[in-house]
A and B are shown apart, each in its own frame.
Chain A
Amino acid sequence: MKMVKCNINGIPMEVPENTSIYKAALQAQVKIPTLCYHPDLPAWAACGICVAKIEGSKKMVRACATNVEENMSIITHDSELQQVRRTVIELILSTHPNDCLRCSRNGTCELQRLAAEFGIREMPFEMNVEPIPQDDSTPSIVLNPEKCVKCGRCVNVCQNVQNVYALEFLGRGDKVRMAPAGDVLLDESPCIKCGQCSAHCPVGAIFERDDTRTVWNALRDPETHCVVQVAPAVRVAIGEAFGLPPGTLTTGKIFAALRRLGFSAVFDTNFGADLTIMEEGSEFVHRFVKGKGEIPLITTCCPSWVDYLEKFYPEMIPHFSTAKSPQMMLAAMTKTYYAKQEKLDPCKIFHVSVMPCTSKKYEISRAQDMFSSGCQDIDVSITTRELARMIKSTGIDFVSLPDEEADTALGLYTGAATIFGATGGVMEAALRTATYLVTGRELAKVEFNQVRGLDGVKEATIDLDGTEVRIAVAHSISNVSRVLDKVKEAKAAGKEPPYHFIEVMACRGGCVAGGGQPYGGDDEVRKLRIAGLYQDDKDHTLRCSHHNPAVKKLYDEFLGEPLSETSHKYLHTHYTARPLYTK
């Protein structure tokens, strides 16, 4: 790597070629203020706050979008720069509703923070807030364009990272606004509800639909038996909302907090993940070994991915695993198996799922199959952010909570389940069990390092005692076409498929960086959260789904065997081609 010499605020340093001034300044212990730059995205250079000066030039440059060059002398702050930044912040504030106290981002808003840091005490400019109605057409995400600061993050992430192109800028000049392309409602657009827009929005212009009030109401109702499940990715991220470092494993504290919030039974989505592996792993063996059904098999744990495929690749639907996602499997078992055990009326059970994801709110009513128990299998799905708010509002001191265990009925899990929260995790878990199902042999070493890490597409060939299994793992939707187009090409040419098994997760890094996770996620945070999950896996004695005794018991007592009729009734679903625009 070629290095470039420069000096920042008089401090000499060397940075790799093509490093932006913004990143170089971090090395000089300066985090240049910005509203639009996000490390996940190419510099869009919209806000005009990260201005810096280069010695010898009168102009100001944008630190996010200007690369350091040899012998550059950079000034990141002086009275003039601070003045310009302050004016730009004041200008933005003059078009932004002044209702911080009632805003979803109160306390986490990046504009609010800038205003605080710059000590803005009065508004020198008249207010011009363009009233634009809120769009709450989807069950997942709410658009409030009135609060939009036009930073472009949502549009960029939706188009360039997720390849969905649901969001766009409409209009021009000070009439410009963020909106679904074509000016339709979000629910009428190709939106896949991944919520990456909400996770990247610096202000309260895009946020998850808040369902906490429904949860509180259920918890208050003495007639209702409240059950909750927690997804793997939540346990390595929710701590951030309480000041813990990213990746801190807080499973026990979450369970404790949920009981103290008033839930009667606390389950773990990881149990559902082990169950998913039993079904999906068997489905793979069924298709791959017995040749019944389309190959490659494609995972379907991610509802945003399912939505994307139904809209953008409907011809690939036969490749989709019919296995429901872990949250839906666990939910179906709660309102059937568990209800029967506990002699509860399934419709009196109120099932809440805590997910890193905004799309899970959509998944719970995605198809009729999500009502397999005779009533809605999951009543409400809330995000990590919503649970954190619920806990905070009670005053529960999360960090000091003692660790508790989940309820055993549907709470026990293996290491294979917990890595579902990371890209490659579903594939790795499936391979651990598929190896056993195909060869009848247990693995000596359960780790499949080929599928780990943040590379956009990971490909590997696995040898199952002489049988070659070609796999691919993709995350963030923009990487999907690289994999699927190969499959389509081979199919069109009548050639053997390039892969046998494909895992896709819509969000970069997998569920650990889902759209419902605490704010501030970037690759550094992703790596730490992922590491937390792999540590959880490592710390488990049981690391293959087929070793989960509770799962075995469930099959013995209720389901029979994987892919049985009962399994199909409760644990499988179907898919439908959907139009990109419904209007």
Chain B
Amino acid sequence: MAFKQYILVCGGTGCESSNSGNLFKNLIREAEEAGVREDVQIVKTGCFGFCERGPIAKVLPDEAFYVDVKPEDAQEIISEHVVKGRAVERLLYKESESKEHARIDEISFYQKQFRVVLRNCGFINPESIDEYIARDGYAALGKVLSEMKPEDVIEELKAAGLRGRGGAGFPTWMKWNFTRQVESDVRYIVCNADEGDPGAYMDRSVLEGDPHTVLEAMTIAGYTIGAAQGYIYIRAEYPLAIERLKLAIAQAKEYGLLGEKILGSDFSFDIEIRLGAGAFVCGEETALLASIEGERGMPKPRPPFPSVKGLWGKPTVINNVETWANIPVIISRGSEWFARIGTETSKGTKVFALTGKINNSGLIEVPMGTSLRDIVYNIGGGIANGKKFKAVQTGGPSGGVITSDFLDTPIDYEHLQELGSIMGSGGMIVMDEDDCIVDVAKYYLGFTVDESCGKCAPCRVGGRKLYNILDRISRGQGSMEDIERIQTIGFSMQRASLCGLGQTAPNPVLSSYKYFQDEYLAHINEKRCPAGSCKELVTYHILPDKCIGCTLCARRCPVNAITGERKQTHVIDQDSCIKCGECYEVCKFSAVVRA
């Protein structure tokens, strides 16, 4: 049976939460009712990445790219596009009002992207192992088991130059090789799927959109280092990813791609899922292992590294989801192909979750070395609402800010570190002129203070102090001594904290102070928030020459702080004003100003 058309509906978390599930159901129902169910295959895929405009649906072979599709649009898509062969114009993505609608490869959001990790996301039904296999899935495993010795796999990874995508960028081949060489009766493979950076959902999307790639990669690693058991540590807040992983494991076992004597070889490997309770620190590998073992998720000193003494004291390879997703492609397409992507020291691509004040927020994958400018302006479509770019935060709560002066920096491990930030797992948050840098740093500190396990004093106490200082500054109560304290505490946290969480927790404040010193000083010395975002430092006023007395602001003020007769100038009572900014937002005559 051959289908004439395919409708791919995004089943990623973003689109699911804007009701793509019902869209999918409706499409099937409508197709049945229209009697075309035999002609059109309707597939729920993983994330397309263009989350800003979800739910997304794509119709093949026409390459029609529908955005902001609602469940009730299903009827029209079926009756018009499938039955009559006419694309539904109003749902097609247009680059701008003036432009024609675009095919996917013409969309600038996609043009500068290069999909290795996300190769299957948005193309296959993640719940079907057959679709994965149809796109070369498990070919790498077959190749490894039939043609390659463990050392060949290591050599291939070495030649590919793959580095860990979890943050620090440690060469993957080295990690595998260390683990392989430690004398032991048992070894383990662990997939770190405890993604926790605010705003980051790279790993989640891979697991939801292409779960088999992780299973295949872990099995290859098991063969390479001599492990028979793997664990996927995933947070329980990712129910869809868990469900799809479970299904994928069951399918792989059924197909003989997991379990006893894989593909008829002597190699056996099994994978189990372990659920985390969502503690950010459990993304740190020693805490993660402790959590799998049923202990409190607290980091331990390294060395010994997990390669030597990992899960239950046995040599263990831990890689994060994105690293795993690279492995099968490297094996099937070869290290030479892979090493051509990226820069001298950072090979391949990197997936980012692009969020914040950007036009096209979503999940993107770019070759290493792509400039931040390309990401923000070409892929991201620039800053939303015509505002001015201020900075980008990479590396989440462990990273730092990158300012407009450095927009042309090629993104790789080394360059980001030079700028005082890190690659991290791939969170990328864009800020505009309305974002206060003190507030941003305070937000990240608040996150790490909440997520600190509390084991070591520098992080436990230092983080809280930094937060309190930033809080004081944002309320106009900071002092120059506080700046000194930030430096002292920050330095000690970086040096004396036990794990990466504490060592990097001061980065957002230290790096933002470095680049936006004036803004910090304005809060301290002038009691002023230049971005107009720190509530306690902002006042709202009504300009008498602009106010026409429409009464809208007075009606919308939640605390009745605005008085004035109809057609008379209104006045804000500063004592009762709670600085919610509602008047500022609603005034149609720009009569309300923030100072």
Contacts and interface: CB of A to CB of B under 8 A. Distances in A.
Contacts of A124: 481, 485, 488
A84 interface: yes
A174 B446 CA distance: 12
A75 interface: no
Contacts of A44: 455
Contacts of A45: 300-301, 456, 498
B30 to A, nearest CB: 49
A43 interface: yes
A51 B495 contact: yes
Interface stretch (B8-16, B371-379, B383-391, B460-468): B460-468
Contact of A94 (B449, B461, B481, B492): B461
Contacts of B496: 48-49, 51, 60, 84-85, 88
Among A43, A125, A172, find the residue whose CB has the most chain B CB atoms closer than 10 A. A172
Contact of B454 (A59, A65, A92, A171): A171
A125 B468 CA distance: 10
Contact of A48 (B296, B449, B457, B491): B457
A171 B456 CA distance: 14
B497 to A, nearest CB: 7
A169 interface: yes
A66 B461 contact: no
> How would you classify the secondary structure of chain A's contact residues: helix, strand, loop or mixed?
loop
Interface residues of A, number: 40
A133 interface: no
B464 A47 contact: no
Contact of A46 (B457, B464, B489): B457
Nearest to A67: B303
A128 B464 contact: yes
B450 interface: yes
A180 to B, nearest CB: 15
B533 interface: no
Given A124-B485, A172-B453, A48 B498 contact: yes
Given A51-B496, A173-B449, A43 B460 contact: no
Given A48-B498, A88-B492, A173 B460 contact: yes
Interface in B258-294: 279
Nearest to B502: A48
A46 B455 contact: yes
A91 B462 CA distance: 6
B452 interface: yes
Given A51-B496, A62-B301, A174 B461 contact: yes
B120 to A, nearest CB: 37
Contact of B456 (A43, A46, A175): A46
Nearest to B455: A46
Given A125-B485, A172-B454, A84 B492 contact: yes
Given A91-B465, A169-B296, A150 B457 contact: yes
- Give the bracket for the number of chain B residues in contact with chain A: 20 to 34
A149 interface: yes
Contacts of B296: 168-169
Nearest to B467: A174
A179 to B, nearest CB: 13
Contacts of B453: 172-173, 176
A384 to B, nearest CB: 31
Contacts of A67: 303
Contacts of A126: 465, 468
B279 A172 contact: yes
Interface string A104-143: 0000000000000000000011101000000000000000
B456 A84 contact: no
Contacts of B460: 150, 173-174, 176
B439 interface: no
B492 A150 contact: no
B39 interface: no
B489 A87 contact: yes
A62 B464 contact: no
Nearest to B497: A48
Contacts of A80: 495
Contacts of A62: 301, 498
Nearest to A85: B496
A67 B464 CA distance: 31
Given A35-B457, A45-B456, 7 more contacts: A48-B492, A48-B496, A83-B492, A87-B489, A128-B464, A172-B279, A172-B451
9 nearest CB pairs, A to B = A176-B454, A65-B301, A48-B496, A87-B492, A91-B461, A173-B452, A45-B301, A60-B495, A48-B458
11 contacts: A43-B301, A48-B498, A49-B457, A84-B495, A91-B458, A91-B492, A124-B485, A125-B465, A171-B454, A173-B451, A176-B454
